[in-house]
């Protein structure tokens, strides 16, 4: 039975793939959130250097993505060219330097006449542009949706426009990760997996936690039919939208909740922890958007929590589902406050694999939260019939082993050693694919207890914070050996 299930899941994976990329959600860094149009070769290359120097590359953050405003239009032969003030040596030169650092380069364009920033778009120029990027050594395309000549409004109109670029990228023969950015319009989550490796599923996330804004007019209740995705969306606005479409993502094809705002200063530490945790649990791409040159210890230790990244990069590629959500009376100044439980399957040594349990508390008060095994494993059998409920589960807290500030500062200042259990070197160890052993704190966090058969997980979760746990079946390794 198990073999059959594995075979079925491999088959689904293979069928869903078009270019073999983004088997797990892509990780990297993008210029837009902190630099907007004020980008340059120097910013891109110096950020790439910091990605290597501070160990982000080792953790899997590999794509360095140049967003809008890099171009100077077309030359006399119709080829896109880079702005020579911002990129005096051209994009091919940047690509070769980024490659020499062991990283990959991403670029941006738009499935319209002009980009959102008003630069030359690629609509009608897909082949020549794809060939140009391939010839420069580009590894990733973020493809936006502004100024699209009205070729939108139905899934077919939008999908066929984006498919032209899919074919053009494939025709180059160069593996180029295809990241669609049409903000969730025209129900992209329904058809996105046949076109691209990822698709933005909502408007732009601004550096704010739950403040409503009229420029992000689609709320969670109108989401599935809303036509103006907008921007200035809060983290919680996007979280409550993705909860409705989690199952659309999978290996090779991901719901993109937009870039991380961690470190950009608009939210408090625990709110950034919530962004990191839900983005990882929901299997969104993990693209940093902060000015790396202004890195501080708190930002580094969130972005470098490899116990959380191992959830994002888990080989099952199965996004966690939001099991329940309740509004709470302790609301903030925007009238917002809720608690939620997210659960999902992870790779693990036991018969049933490991299980993720994520509590979010966006109320202002600390509270004890709980989830019974029956709730945690609801999808394996409703109303208490799941076989997992009869097992005992070790509980690992994925934030309890967060790197301390002294270690983080030592990394930033380049004057200390990083304890081996502080983070996992994914690059040296073939990613996060191996089964983490329960002694690997960098992947498992800290063991905090055991749930008995039929029991309940209790967690003290601070106001505006998360409790993020990995459950592992007691005796899982032993059972496996017995079976052999």
State the catalytic residues: 144, 204
Cα gap 123→365, rounded to integer Å: 50
Nearer Cβ to ligand GAL, position 144 or 207?
144
Q: Contacts with ligand GAL: how many residues (CB under 6 A)?
A: 10
How big is the chain by its Cα radius of gyration, in Å?
Answer: 22
Nearer Cβ to ligand GAL, position 37 or 155?
37
Q: Give the CB-side neighbour count of residue 74, counting CA atoms within 13 A.
A: 15
How does DSSP classify residue 114? B
Instruction: Measure the CA angle with vertex 46, ends 43 and 51; round to 5°.
Output: 115
Which one of the spans 111-119, 121-129, 356-364, 374-382 is the region binding ligand GAL (CB under 6 A)? 111-119
48 Cβ partners below 8 Å, 6+ apart? 64, 97, 98, 101, 103
Which one of the spans 50-58, 109-117, 249-257, 451-459 is the region binding ligand GAL (CB under 6 A)? 109-117
Nearer Cβ to ligand GAL, position 181 or 357?
181
241 Cβ partners below 8 Å, 6+ apart? 184, 201, 202, 218, 220, 223
Nearer Cβ to ligand GAL, position 115 or 277?
115
**116 touches ligand GAL (CB under 6 A):** yes
Closest separation between CB of residue 354 and ligand GAL, Å? 33
Please state whether beta strands 393-397 and 465-473 pair in parallel, antiparallel, or not at all (unpaired).
antiparallel
Interface residues for ligand GAL in 20-39 (CB under 6 A)? 32
| Tokens matching residue 178 | 């295809």
| Tokens matching residue 401 | 């082993």
**230 touches ligand GAL (CB under 6 A):** no
Cα gap 472→393, rounded to integer Å: 5
Are the CB atoms for 475 and 390 separated by under 8 Å?
no
Using CB atoms, what's the residue nearest to ligand GAL? 116
Please state whether beta strands 80-82 and 71-74 pair in parallel, antiparallel, or not at all (unpaired).
antiparallel
| Tokens matching residue 52 | 């290597």
Closest separation between CB of residue 116 and ligand GAL, Å? 3
Question: Whose structure tokens read 């502080």?
Answer: 422
Which one of the spans 46-54, 113-121, 387-395, 431-439 is the region binding ligand GAL (CB under 6 A)? 113-121
State CA 325 to chain mean position distance: 22
Nearer Cβ to ligand GAL, position 141 or 278?
141
Nearer Cβ to ligand GAL, position 105 or 468?
105
Are the CB atoms for 64 and 96 separated by under 8 Å?
no
Closest separation between CB of residue 117 and ligand GAL, Å? 4
**204 touches ligand GAL (CB under 6 A):** yes
Nearer Cβ to ligand GAL, position 32 or 432?
32
Are the CB atoms for 162 and 112 separated by under 8 Å?
no
**Residue 453 neighbours by CB distance under 10 Å:** 12
Which one of the spans 84-92, 112-120, 235-243, 395-403 is the region binding ligand GAL (CB under 6 A)? 112-120
Closest separation between CB of residue 68 and ligand GAL, Å? 3
**59 touches ligand GAL (CB under 6 A):** no
**186 touches ligand GAL (CB under 6 A):** no
Closest separation between CB of residue 67 and ligand GAL, Å? 5
Cα gap 327→345, rounded to integer Å: 26
Question: Whose structure tokens read 């590629």?
Answer: 317
**117 touches ligand GAL (CB under 6 A):** yes
Closest separation between CB of residue 285 and ligand GAL, Å? 12
Cα gap 53→75, rounded to integer Å: 37
Nearer Cβ to ligand GAL, position 198 or 306?
198
Interface residues for ligand GAL in 396-425 (CB under 6 A)? none
Contact with ligand GAL (CB under 6 A) among 58, 62, 68, 465 = 68
Are the CB atoms for 61 and 288 separated by under 8 Å?
yes
Closest separation between CB of residue 233 and ligand GAL, Å? 10
Which one of the spans 114-122, 243-251, 303-311, 427-435 is the region binding ligand GAL (CB under 6 A)? 114-122
**67 touches ligand GAL (CB under 6 A):** yes
Cα gap 349→383, rounded to integer Å: 26
**140 touches ligand GAL (CB under 6 A):** no
Closest separation between CB of residue 113 and ligand GAL, Å? 14
**144 touches ligand GAL (CB under 6 A):** yes
**181 touches ligand GAL (CB under 6 A):** yes
Please give the backbone phi and psi of residue 173, each rounded to the nearest 5 degrees, phi first. 80, -5
Write out the H or E segment, with its range, that includes residue 87. none
Closest separation between CB of residue 40 and ligand GAL, Å? 16
**432 touches ligand GAL (CB under 6 A):** no
Residues found in the chain: 484
How does DSSP classify residue 134? H
Interface residues for ligand GAL in 334-363 (CB under 6 A)? none
Cα gap 260→302, rounded to integer Å: 11
| Tokens matching residue 440 | 């690997």
Nearer Cβ to ligand GAL, position 32 or 54?
32
Closest separation between CB of residue 415 and ligand GAL, Å? 36
Write out the H or E segment, with its range, that includes residue 309. helix 306-312
Question: Which residues form the interface with ligand GAL (CB under 6 A)?
Answer: 32, 67-68, 115-117, 144, 146, 181, 204
């Amino acid at each position: 039975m198990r073999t059959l299930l594995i075979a079925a899941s491999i088959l689904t994976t293979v069928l869903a793939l078009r270019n073999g990329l983004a088997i797990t959600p892509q990780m990297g860094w993008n210029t837009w959130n902190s630099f907007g149009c004020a980008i340059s070769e120097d910013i891109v290359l110096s950020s790439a250097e910091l990605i290597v120097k501070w160990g982000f590359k080792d953790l899997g953050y590999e794509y360095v993505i140049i967003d809008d405003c890099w171009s100077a239009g077309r030359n006399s032969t119709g080829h896109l060219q880079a702005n020579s003030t911002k990129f005096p040596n051209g994009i091919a030169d940047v690509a070769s330097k980024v490659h020499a650092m062991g990283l990959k380069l991403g670029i941006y364009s738009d499935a319209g006449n002009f980009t959102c920033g008003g630069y030359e778009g690629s609509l009608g120029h897909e082949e020549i542009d794809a060939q140009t990027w391939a010839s420069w050594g580009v590894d990733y395309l973020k493809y936006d949706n502004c100024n699209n000549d009205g070729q939108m409004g139905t899934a077919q109109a939008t999908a066929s426009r984006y498919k032209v670029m899919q074919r053009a990228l494939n025709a180059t023969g160069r593996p180029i990760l295809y990241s669609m950015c049409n903000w969730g319009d025209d129900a992209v989550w329904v058809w996105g997996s046949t076109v691209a490796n990822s698709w933005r599923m909502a408007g732009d996330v601004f550096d704010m936690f739950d403040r409503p804004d009229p420029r992000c007019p689609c709320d969670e209740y109108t989401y599935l039919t809303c036509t103006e995705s907008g921007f200035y969306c809060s983290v919680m606005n996007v979280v409550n939208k993705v909860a409705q479409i989690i199952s659309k993502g999978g290996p090779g094809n991901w719901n993109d909740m937009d870039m991380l705002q961690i470190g950009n200063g608009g939210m408090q530490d625990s709110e950034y922890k919530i962004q990191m945790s839900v983005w990882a649990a929901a299997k969104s791409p993990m693209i940093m958007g902060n000015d790396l040159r202004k890195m501080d210890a708190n930002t580094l230790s969130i972005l470098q929590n490899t116990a959380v990244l191992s959830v994002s990069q888990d080989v099952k590629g199965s996004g966690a589902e939001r099991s329940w959500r309740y509004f709470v009376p302790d609301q903030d100044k925007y009238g917002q406050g809720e608690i939620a439980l997210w659960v999902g399957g992870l790779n693990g040594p036991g018969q049933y694999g490991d299980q993720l349990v994520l509590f979010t508390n966006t109320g202002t008060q600390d509270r004890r939260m709980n989830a019974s095994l029956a709730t945690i494993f609801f999808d394996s059998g409703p109303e208490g019939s799941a076989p997992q409920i009869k097992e005992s589960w070790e509980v690992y807290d994925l934030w309890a082993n967060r790197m301390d500030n002294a270690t983080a500062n030592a990394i930033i200042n380049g004057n200390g050693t990083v304890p081996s259990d502080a983070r996992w070197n994914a690059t040296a160890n073939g990613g996060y694919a191996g089964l983490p052993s329960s002694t690997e704190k960098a992947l498992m966090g800290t063991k905090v207890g055991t749930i008995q058969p039929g029991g309940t997980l209790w967690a003290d979760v601070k106001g505006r914070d998360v409790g993020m746990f990995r459950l592992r079946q007691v005796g899982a390794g032993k059972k496996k050996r017995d079976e052999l």
